[in-house]
Amino acid sequence: MEDLYFSRLPLALQNIVLEIEAAASFDVTVKICPWRDKTDSQESQPLRCVVDETEARILIPSLDQFRPSSVLHELLHLRRFLIQCVPQINVCERFWTLEAEAFFAELDNSLEHFLIIPEEIRWYPERLAQWITKMNRNLDKVETGSGDADDREFDAVYSLALIEHAIPDNNLKSRSRALLSRLSLMDRAISFRNAIIPTLSDKEAATAVFVEHFSLDREMICLKYLDPINRTHELKKLMQA
Ligand SMILES: [Zn+2]
């Protein structure tokens, strides 16, 4: 990582960077992307990472938003893909469109957050408040009925599982449950939660739960295993249920 950024991290995070770089045999780089500035929308995580078998890059809106707690979130994403060899959910080549790529990248993030948020909060307990704010904002959107109906349903059903697993807050939990009852989605949400939590240590199984519970097209999904040492990756179809 460039010194300018590396020197701003506490030792424990510097060590994670070094571990990732050693495993990947390339540097983690940082790039300023001013268009990522979400201060208006109070986005809890304006940072993002881009990773494949040849690069790992953290995108930041500005230098002053390169905060250790936000950087840790991205490092935890990178560590799973580059050190722990967890695959990423990807759209298979023959179905590729920009929209499909973005959709499955977002889905991958949603799944990864079940594992990343608890660890992030263990390191930086103050991050809990930001995740509570973000989840409340998602529930606001569901409540006001803005946006696409499928997205709203996804957000409502997904939120309960994420909140109960990763974002311990009683008000948020009650709010999510009340909203699900009102939308008659409680049974779906409970059944998704019960299915997803036991699979979290197995990305393929967890992906299959998302496919089944949100009626996604299994054919479109490939799991991408990065092999940074050989600068290649392997694509695996999702096993049939
Ligand atoms: Zn994330």
pLDDT of residue 140: 94
User: Residues 77, 121: one domain?
Assistant: no
Q: What share of the chain is helix, strand, coil (3-state, %, to 5)?
A: 60, 15, 25
* Tens of pLDDT, residues 69-96: 999 999 999 999 999 999 999 999 999 9
Q: Distance from the CA of 108 to the center of ligand 1, in angstroms?
A: 9
Closest C-alpha to 156, from 127, 192, 120: 192
pLDDT of residue 160: 98
Q: Is 44's pLDDT higher than 80? A: no
pLDDT of residue 43: 54
Residue finishing a domain among 22, 51, 84:
84
Q: Is 36's pLDDT higher than 90? A: no
User: Residues 97, 109: one domain?
Assistant: yes
Tally of domains within the chain: 2
In the structure, what pLDDT confidence band is assigned to residue 46 with cuts at 50, 70 and 90?
confident
User: Residues 123, 63: one domain?
Assistant: no
* Reported pTM: 0.94
CA-CA distance, 230 to 33, in Å (whole number)?
Answer: 29
Q: 212-216: long-range contacts at Cβ-Cβ below 8 A with a sequence spacing of 24 or more?
A: 212/241, 213/157, 213/188, 214/154, 214/157, 216/107
Q: Distance from the CA of 205 to the center of ligand 1, in angstroms?
A: 20
User: Residues 94, 202: one domain?
Assistant: yes
Which of 12-21, 26-35, 170-179, 197-206 has the weakest average pLDDT?
26-35
* Tens of pLDDT, residues 160-175: 999 999 999 999 999 9
Closest C-alpha to 172, from 163, 185, 184, 183: 163
Q: Distance from the CA of 48 to the center of ligand 1, in angstroms?
A: 7
Q: Distance from the CA of 221 to the center of ligand 1, in angstroms?
A: 20
User: Residues 116, 36: one domain?
Assistant: no
User: Residues 180, 79: one domain?
Assistant: no
Strand, helix or coil for residue 84: coil
Highest mean pLDDT among 43-47, 76-80, 142-146: 76-80
| Full residue range of the structural domain in which residue 202 is found | 87-241
**In sequence order, what are the residues at sequence separation of 6 or more whose Cβ sits closer than 8 angstroms to the Cβ of residue 148?**
none
Residue finishing a domain among 37, 62, 84:
84
Residue linked to tokens 């977002």:
106
- The phi and psi torsions of 162 (rounded to 5 degrees) equal -65, -45
User: Residues 142, 236: one domain?
Assistant: yes
Q: Distance from the CA of 156 to the center of ligand 1, in angstroms?
A: 19
Residue finishing a domain among 32, 62, 84:
84
In the structure, what pLDDT confidence band is assigned to residue 97 with cuts at 50, 70 and 90?
very high
User: Residues 61, 115: one domain?
Assistant: no
* DSSP per-residue letters across 51-65: E-SS-EEEEES-GGG
User: Residues 110, 202: one domain?
Assistant: yes
